[in-house]
Structure 1
Amino acid sequence: MPSDSRQVAERIDRPAADVYAYAVNPAHIADWAPGLGDRVEHIDGDWFVETGMGRVRVVFAPANAFGVLDHEVFLPTGQRFYNPLRVVPHGDGSEIVFTVRRTPGMSDTDLDRDAGAVAADLARLKQILETNE
């Protein structure tokens, strides 16, 4: 039976608090996670992202001291997806870990594609944070 999820991680040479402080701000999504979407709007307390699937609403975990960046994505179809995302200390730097979950009917190829898109987003986050110290 194929795995139902895959952890994608990136080591970032910045303290976990710095990575969290940047990634927790939804306004930065389009900069580091264009795999999710390319335009972010904050309307009446809700965050929306323009994606290839249309405009989605994204609900984030409350700010916390544990590096939890979990979020739910609500598609225009009414489907919702829970996405675990964590920033954890790793030596003098940190590691950011995203759990890519297999959805019903998703092939191994589709899961690989999604994991690759997440890896590219996390690599972009690393580049932004390590370049703009």
Structure 2
Amino acid sequence: MSTSRHLSAHIDRPVREVYEYAADPLNTPKWAAGLAGSIEQVDGQWVADSPMGRITITFAERNQYGVLDHDVTLPSGETVHNPMRVLPDGDGAEIVFTVRQRAGMTDDDFARDADAVQADLHTLKQLLER
């Protein structure tokens, strides 16, 4: 069993608008610096340059439930599942990301990872509330 933290941000935009923006892989580098600096489709897969090196990202199929889960395959070959949701929150939306402490990850590394995800959610909020 791993340790998890559920991070979130309220975004003062309609839930569907937040979902559509965040679900578009091409928008990922605009708000998720902790994940990708650039992204492109290569042979049917989304490949990104990240702070961890070159990664592959498999995104959940578009859906009506706000599910934005994605699997990240690291340069080591390890695949990390990342649960993510956009939920209605009044007239706006709440985006929730679950960060899990991977095997062998120190508490300090886990805290840094969570801080990076929270910063990414804040960036998404800023972009969408302009």
2:3 is aligned to 4
1:30 is aligned to 29
Deviation, structure 1 residue 108: 1.9
Which deviates more, 37-46 or 22-31?
37-46
Gaps of 5+ in 1: none
Is the Cα–Cα contact under 8 Å of residues 7 and 98 in structure 2 kept in the other structure?
yes
1:20 is aligned to 19
Task: Give the superposed CA RMSD.
Answer: 1.3
Deviation, structure 1 residue 106: 1.7
Which deviates more, 52-61 or 91-100?
52-61
CA distance in 1, matches of 2:18, 2:51: 26
Which deviates more, 91-100 or 47-56?
47-56
Deviations 1:26-65 (A, max 9, x none): 0011100011010111122211110122211100111000
CA distance in 1, matches of 2:75, 2:109: 21
What code does the residue aligned with 1:14 have? R
CA distance in 2, matches of 1:120, 1:42: 25
CA distance in 2, matches of 1:96, 1:34: 17
1:75 is aligned to 74
Matched, 1:124 2:94: no
Gaps of 5+ in 2: none
Matches within 5 A, 1:48-127: 48-127=47-126
Query: What is the SS of the residue equivalent to 1:11?
Result: strand
Which deviates more, 122-131 or 106-115?
106-115
Query: What is the SS of the residue equivalent to 1:62?
Result: coil
For normalisation by structure 1, the TM-score amounts to: 0.94
Deviation, structure 1 residue 111: 1.3
Which deviates more, 52-61 or 94-103?
52-61
CA distance in 2, matches of 1:24, 1:45: 17
User: Number of matched residues?
Assistant: 130
For normalisation by structure 2, the TM-score amounts to: 0.96
